[in-house]
Structure 1
């Protein structure tokens, strides 16, 4: 049974990040996904999201996303503010494993159409993360 409720589809994305389930992204992301701010050097679309989920899986153990707030607009956009906690146990975009616990936040705007995410705009508090990974 496929999930079509926009909030549930958006929340499922965080479950897949936490599980590191790259293959399951095909169930919730449109093949024509537009990522308005992809990771530098990656594709804007489903392949870029696959790369990002794999990077989280490789860089962190015990990744857990907690939804702090979620709302929906009348035209299919879902806003989600989240907090991710994990242990930094692998390489993260050139930063070797520190074995440190991390906690940082982000906000995503996703457009859900017919049960699939067709657009995403996301902002992660990477400065929070960077400070935790590099603090003396």
Structure 2
């Protein structure tokens, strides 16, 4: 696959899976041996743990969740994406009761794409800073 094809895989994953919660798209776009290299130590890092993060933690807590892709750079089988995940905090998020506040999580991630699927992920984000702000609300 070309770098442009790999970028399209990542774009589709961000919109169909993260933003829209499409399980069929998730299954089509994730490798069975996927590894999340940014998972906390001793935490599961396979496909289902990634689905759980989006479907059971972020999406229920952030109404109107959107993903805005600002930049993408691809080289070989890796795609770097700078994006914002945003929504309104309307349900419990990592133990923090709903505040009704707008939330924006800035993310930079690297995805290795193999055969049109997410094979590995590395990332950094501002979730901890967002949670700290919500605790003060």
Q: TM-score, length-normalised on structure 1?
A: 0.88
Distance 1:135 1:110 in 2: 33
Summarize the Cα distance change of 1:49–1:94 in structure 2 as closer, same or farther, 3 Å threshold.
same
Runs of at least 4 residues off by over 3 Å: 39-42
Secondary structure in 2 matching 1:64? strand
Say yes or no: does 1:84 pair with 2:85.
yes
Q: Distance in 2 between matches of 1:125 and 1:93?
A: 14
Between Structure 1 and Structure 2, which shows a larger proportion of helix residues? 2
Report the equivalent of 1:116.
Answer: 117
Q: Distance in 2 between matches of 1:63 and 1:93?
A: 16
Matches within 5 A, 1:1-136: 5-15=5-15, 16-39=17-40, 42-54=43-55, 55-74=57-76, 76-136=77-137
| Structure 1 vs Structure 2 CA RMSD | 1.8
**Distance apart, 1:31 and its partner CA:** 0.6
The 8 Å contact of residues 6 and 115 in structure 1, kept in 2 or not, is answered as yes
Q: Distance in 1 between matches of 2:37 and 2:11?
A: 19
C-alpha separation in 2, matches of 1:5 and 1:109: 15
Please give the TM-score of this superposition, normalised by the length of structure 2.
0.87
Question: What runs of 5+ residues in structure 2 fail to find an aligned partner?
Answer: none
Partner Cα separation in structure 2 for residue 52 and residue 101 of structure 1:
19
Aligned residues of 2:13 and 2:25 also touching (Cα < 8 A): no
